[in-house]
Amino acid sequence: MKLKINNIQYHRNGICGEPFYVINFNDKEIGNMIGVVFPVYDEKKDQYTNDFNPKVAVFKTKLLGQGNINFGENSFRGDHFSDELIKAINKNKKKTMESYTKSVVKNSKKIIKKLKQAS
Q: What is the largest CA-CA distance in the chain?
A: 55
What is the pLDDT at residue 52?
65
Task: For residue 4, give the amino acid letter.
Answer: K
Rounded-to-integer distance, Cα 81 and Cα 20, Å: 15
Residue-wise pLDDT for 52-63, tens only, equals 678 999 999 999
What is the pLDDT at residue 16?
86
Question: What confidence category does residue 15 fall into, taking pLDDT thresholds of 50, 70 and 90?
Answer: confident
Q: Domain coordinates of the chain in residue numbers?
A: 3-92
**What value, to the nearest 5°, has the Cα angle with vertex 50 and ends 48 and 52?**
145
